[in-house]
Chain A
Amino acid sequence: MGVGSRRGLVGLGIGLALADSSVVTLALPDILRRFDVEIPTVAWVLTSYNLVLALAAVPAAYAARRHPTVAFAVGTLVFAGASLVCGLAPSFALLVGGRCVQAVGGALLVCAALDLLTELEGTDARAVRTWAAAGVLGAALGPAVGGILTETLGWESIFLTQVPLALATLVAVRRLPARPVPEPPGRPDLSANLALLLVSGALTAALFLLVLLLVDGWRVAPAAAGLIVTVMPLAAIAMSSQANRVGGSAVRAAAGAILVAGGLCALGVLPGSGWGWTLVPQLLLGAGLGLALSALTERALAGRSPQAVHGGWTIAARHAGVVVGLLLLTPIFTTALDRNEDRALRAGAAAVLDSDIPPLDKLAVAQDVLAAVRAADGEVPDVRGAFDDKPDEPAYTTLEERLVSELDRAVTAAFSRPFLLAAGLALLALVPIALSRRQVSV
């Protein structure tokens, strides 16, 4: 097998493992219904994977540095086996348990992959670039692929599809020569890893909150939402290919963090509720993603050996950032949604009372809308149902559109604060980036 094919397969393995940090985002509503669990509980399908990946990455990297080929093979088999368990899980507990085991396998294969790429690419610098690019692509494409699979084949297919793909990557390590035992690892680059943590936390908001806004907020179908958020990875790919022309890694990292902050700020002040408003912010986020994550990964690994151990630190930092992002932003978003739902209800009631529908219908419509809100149980209600048995007259149509508009405004405004807070995380990353610049020059 040629070097290019092996490299592609190893990259596929990295992409699969890192896509799993976000791949089920669009499947969460289906999983919630399948196992009849609460919203904070279902979020553990995402959180558990990222938490275990963050905790297991460094130990996995230490294990991988002596026998990267074996570590990659074992990690891949564990990842594939756990994916199968997740896809067939009869209970929510087993699904989350499977996700934890998946993360252990993912940590092992991703860290071992860095050493394998060094073998295949010939130099540390090229290996790091390929490794970082595969990770960025996987993480960015995850929600889109997950959304399309969920809508076409069901959420289980996300995990079941991974099994043959993961097993296929094992071909890459067949008869690959083992590396000699490397020297003891040095200290990790704290500044670069801290910046990675902060930028990753911010990007979690970009992916997690954006798909939530599209699907649960604006009622976009999961597959369509998946296509909409592909703007981000496409921008990331486009920017990654031009990244080296931008400047050194510190400049790329800082410019990337600023673009991520700008995109998130724009999502925090959306002037409307159509998906079209998210496209330009996504371009900025994708460009920032393409610049910042790869540049910070390069900085964290530059001049450090062995690569697998320091790669493990970057994985730990990135996924700790995802967990921080999820744990920090989810309650803020939930509180804002509750508050804005009350405001939307009052605004909707005002619209009903001041509308031109017959007086006798006003209280009935207001109460039907209230019932729809209560039946939604914390999710975004379908107020159009309150008009199902109403006449097809302009007064009713106008009122229905007004109510939907008030609800859209409330939902969109509820996402504002989490997006702005996430932008703050991205800007905060500029501090360790500036500190890191003094320590390492690439």
Chain B
Amino acid sequence: MRIAPLLIAIVVGAALVGAYVALGGTSYEPSPVADPCVPRPERPTDASGERIELVLLAAADETACTLGVSREELVLALRSVDELEVLARSEGRSRDELEDALRDGLERAVDEAEDKGLIGGRTATALEFAAERLPLGLLLSALRGASSFLD
């Protein structure tokens, strides 16, 4: 039995697979999302709209960290209370736990932003009021429109 053709086939196949792996073939997949419990690098910003956005993103991180989901999953579920409940249930959380996590997350993010001087006292007060008092559905509406509402 001639083994040269077999060796050639093995070498050619292995060379191609090796080249593709070296070019990043095994890592060509969707980018991983960041852990919401790990602080993100700070982004310098001047515009007030962007500052509010940073507060809301930080609130999303805080809430997602508490619920054990990614920030992105949380944001995608912000469309309605029902979708948020589905997300919470998938992580074995109740609606009350979800609501607490959302309100606490927003309050912590507002406190940190105020401490850093990112937002002023009146904006912080308005956001804290929303976090503590607004019904969940209204709070979500406020969060979705917060940038324009507070800009």
The interface of chain A, by Cβ under 8 A from chain B, is: 246-248, 250-252, 254-256, 258-259, 261-263, 265-266, 269-273, 277, 280-281, 284, 288, 340, 343-347, 349-351, 353, 358-360, 362-363, 366-367, 370, 406, 409-410, 412-413, 437
Contacts and interface: CB of A to CB of B under 8 A. Distances in A.
A261 B79 CA distance: 46
Given A347-B31, A359-B52, A412-B28, A254 B6 contact: yes
A255 B8 contact: yes
Contact of B12 (A259, A269, A277, A346): A259
Interface string B89-131: 0000000000000000000000000000000000000000000
A255 B29 contact: no
A248 B76 contact: no
Given A251-B5, A272-B28, A406-B31, A350 B13 contact: no
Interface string B1-38: 11101101110111011001101111011111110000
A363 B31 contact: no
Given A270-B28, A346-B73, A353-B75, A363 B144 contact: yes
Contact of A247 (B5, B34, B52): B5
Contact of B28 (A346, A351, A409): A409
B28 A413 contact: yes
Contact of B16 (A284, A359, A410): A284
Contact of B76 (A252, A255, A370): A370
A298 to B, nearest CB: 16
Interface residues of B, number: 43
A252 B5 CA distance: 8
A347 B30 CA distance: 6
A39 B131 CA distance: 45
Contacts of A284: 12-13, 16
B76 A345 contact: yes
Given A251-B6, A363-B75, A412-B28, A350 B17 contact: no
B29 A265 contact: no
Name the residue among A271, A347, A437 with the largest chain B CB count within 10 angstroms: A271
Given A346-B70, A409-B29, A410-B29, A262 B75 contact: no
Binding site of B, secondary structure by majority: helix, strand, loop or mixed?
helix
Contacts of B9: 254-256, 258-259, 262, 288
Contacts, number: 136
A349 B76 contact: yes
A54 to B, nearest CB: 28
B50 to A, nearest CB: 6
Contacts of B3: 251
B66 interface: no
B29 A413 contact: yes
Nearest to A343: B30
Contact of B1 (A248, A273, A358): A248
Interface in B42-90: 49-50, 52-53, 57, 60, 70-73, 75-76, 78-79
A390 B23 CA distance: 35
A255 B5 contact: yes
28 contacts: A246-B5, A251-B1, A254-B6, A254-B9, A255-B8, A258-B13, A259-B9, A266-B16, A266-B25, A269-B25, A270-B25, A271-B25, A284-B12, A288-B9, A345-B72, A349-B72, A350-B31, A353-B60, A358-B49, A359-B49, A359-B50, A359-B147, A360-B49, A366-B76, A406-B30, A406-B31, A409-B31, A413-B30
Nearest to B70: A346
Contacts of A345: 72, 76
A246 B24 CA distance: 33
A265 to B, nearest CB: 5
Contact of A266 (B2, B20, B31, B78): B20
B12 to A, nearest CB: 6
Contact of A350 (B16, B25, B33): B33
A354 to B, nearest CB: 9
A266 B26 CA distance: 10
A280 B17 CA distance: 10
B1 A344 contact: no
Contacts of A343: 29-30
Given A258-B9, A270-B25, A359-B53, 16 more contacts: A251-B6, A262-B14, A265-B17, A266-B17, A271-B20, A345-B72, A346-B30, A347-B31, A353-B71, A360-B147, A362-B53, A363-B75, A366-B76, A406-B31, A410-B30, A412-B28
B39 to A, nearest CB: 15
Contact of B72 (A263, A265, A273, A350): A350
